[in-house]
A and B are shown apart, each in its own frame.
Chain A
């Protein structure tokens, strides 16, 4: 549990920025949601339409990405999961090229070879993996390289709570602690590993206690609130940056929508309550109550976010499709 004093709390500028980041992410996810479903009716075909394939949206989990990435520089690394959009945007990945990748276009981050689970951006040292827990080990390597060269870069490795039962998770925590690598391990506990609740997958009440097994600090942020994440992450990033080694942070967050689009979530008994737990309206209300934002500012932030997302989506839609004649390129460096 976090138990922080007021000195760790963010000031008004930071609070506005946290809000702005979350709104941008949500605007993006809503646009993707609409386009993903727009042309898959009346018959559902996962491979059809403007955006084909699986789609794992991060709505509800914005506080984790916004709170963690607020402490990062562009030369810090982030490895995210199959649900990567919120961390990509919060870390500053180019929104146009990210959208283009999701729409499978040649202008995308991976020229349409990757897709929404495989986003790689060297400019922000961002990557993600569609394989549960397997984004952790490469983050160790990025942290190793930063430290090896005498720099102060930090790598943030993200997984969901279901990944904490994978071998890669435990191997990585041990090695990062053993070599005192500048890593912040983030677990997004959204209660559900697709359809399996945490209580049916995990032998401990929360994953932060697992940090003790590897001799590193472990923190559970129980509320899905961006400022709690911000405070916990600030301490962890600072520890990593100044040679104090890794930290494990678990945030009890919320999967607002399904595991992937098309998931009817019949397994989820609390479904009716979910919309009421949306973290963004709650944060907005608190900023309004504290006098940090007024209606005009809120409106402007929302309008700006929507406009930015619209430009990104338009960029994607206006971009050329990859040439099928080039389907075999980029397997090897220096070969195409």
Chain B
């Protein structure tokens, strides 16, 4: 696969596009799919009248009623398993795990059932579930409500893992996820949703076509072209990397930013294509450092051809420590702009 420029140059120019937050783009995609496909249902905690704690389902109950938009008890094992069984029978459930950190109470249904049934059945049973979940920190929510954990899901075979960074991709990837015949874990960072009650990057709002469209799952995008160094990242870190890249331009450093958009499938070709041109690689990951996405991205290059790298790669990730509560501690471990800048300058030296 090759990367596409993101958003595609035509995306912002359609007659019907408006500026939406990522949250509203997600809701629009779900609503459009629910209108066209009666098999699509939505369930989870507080997805009804509340509209999702992170506004991922606002207005859908009013539009589609309580038979298709269902508030559940706080019983993640039961309702995620319910989604799996309903999908086996031909429905296309979207099921929300409020925070990804809560996977500990229901992981068996996710990785032993949702992820494995297609394989164990020799391809005879499909499980088209979209498991949406909020990820990420930066607002002092502590060690049990601030993790990303996409590397954990990506490690478990059978789950596609989608991590949008902006409104355009969020809508197109959601549409693609709902139409996909596989389980898709759709991980939205609270910091990219454009919530009025949380600090947000300007990129959390953007042009979104009103009509339905898909963004292919498994295809990275080049969020910014550059020639000196490749920065590979996902989610909110794309925003930070772009901020840093813009700032470094005046210092004569041209950084290319690759937004992976999904971890499974991983667009290894797009990573290699960029590194082949720049020879330098920085990976930025808000998930934990060890055994995760950052190592996988580097392996994608060095297993292919270690000579592509003219410098040792640098990883900017959460060191292997739970996310701290106190602001100064949390920001000491998150992949901040300052850490990304230091990494880019570091890989440029020598």
Give the B-binding residues of A (Cβ under 8 A).
Answer: 77, 79, 108-115, 118, 120-122, 125, 127, 129, 131, 134, 136-146, 148, 155, 167-168, 171-172, 174-175, 178, 329-334, 336
Contact = CB atoms under 8 A, between A and B. Distances in A.
Given A143-B85, A332-B158, A333-B118, 5 more contacts: A110-B122, A111-B123, A113-B120, A136-B78, A137-B85
B84 A141 contact: yes
A122 B83 contact: no
B89 A125 contact: yes
B41 interface: yes
B121 A110 contact: yes
Contacts of B91: 141, 144-145, 148
Contact of B90 (A127, A129, A145): A145
Nearest to B74: A171
Interface stretch (B2-10, B105-113, B235-243, B304-312): B105-113
B88 interface: yes
Contacts of B81: 134, 136-138, 140-141, 168, 172
A138 to B, nearest CB: 3
B82 A138 contact: yes
Nearest to B158: A331
A88 to B, nearest CB: 13
Contacts of A115: 120
B125 A120 contact: yes
B117 A175 contact: no
Contacts of B87: 141
B80 A137 contact: yes
B287 to A, nearest CB: 22
Nearest to A335: B182
A127 B125 CA distance: 10
Contacts of A178: 73
B108 to A, nearest CB: 5
B72 interface: yes
B75 interface: yes
A122 B125 contact: yes
Given A109-B124, A174-B73, A331-B158, A144 B82 contact: yes
Contacts of B112: 129, 131, 134
B259 to A, nearest CB: 22
B346 interface: no
26 contacts: A108-B122, A110-B122, A110-B124, A111-B123, A113-B119, A127-B88, A129-B112, A134-B108, A134-B113, A137-B77, A137-B78, A137-B81, A138-B81, A138-B85, A138-B113, A139-B85, A141-B86, A141-B88, A142-B85, A145-B89, A171-B73, A171-B77, A174-B78, A175-B79, A331-B119, A333-B182
Contacts of B120: 110, 113-115, 118, 120
A141 B119 contact: no
B157 to A, nearest CB: 5
A334 B181 contact: yes
A114 B121 contact: yes
B118 A168 contact: no
Contacts of A168: 77-78, 81, 108-109
B75 A174 contact: yes
Contact of B86 (A131, A145, A174, A331): A145
B204 interface: no
Nearest to B181: A333
Contacts of B116: 118
A178 B120 CA distance: 31
Interface of B: 41, 67, 72-73, 75, 77-91, 93, 105, 108-109, 112-113, 116-126, 157-158, 160, 181-182
Nearest to A115: B120
Contacts of B93: 141
A175 B174 CA distance: 27
B75 A171 contact: yes
A56 B337 CA distance: 56
Contacts of B109: 134, 137-138, 168
Given A134-B112, A175-B72, A145 B85 contact: yes
B124 A120 contact: yes
B118 A142 contact: no
Contacts of A112: 122
B41 to A, nearest CB: 7
Contacts of B80: 137
A139 B89 CA distance: 10
Contacts of A131: 108, 112-113
Contacts of A129: 112-113
B97 to A, nearest CB: 14
A330 B118 CA distance: 7
Nearest to A151: B89
A68 to B, nearest CB: 18
Given A167-B77, A174-B78, A331 B118 contact: yes
A131 B114 CA distance: 13
A118 B119 CA distance: 10
A137 B90 CA distance: 16
Contact of B160 (A139, A144, A332): A332
Pick the most buried of A108, A115, A125, A127: most chain B CB atoms within 10 A of its CB. Answer: A127
A20 B181 CA distance: 40
A194 B158 CA distance: 30
Contacts of B73: 171, 174-175, 178
B41 A148 contact: yes
Contacts of A122: 88, 121, 124-125
B122 A109 contact: yes
B186 to A, nearest CB: 16
Contacts of B108: 131, 134, 168
A146 B124 CA distance: 20
Contacts of B67: 148
A298 B89 CA distance: 39
The 8 lowest CB-CB distance pairs between A and B, nearest first, are: A137-B81, A141-B85, A111-B122, A138-B85, A145-B89, A171-B78, A120-B121, A141-B86
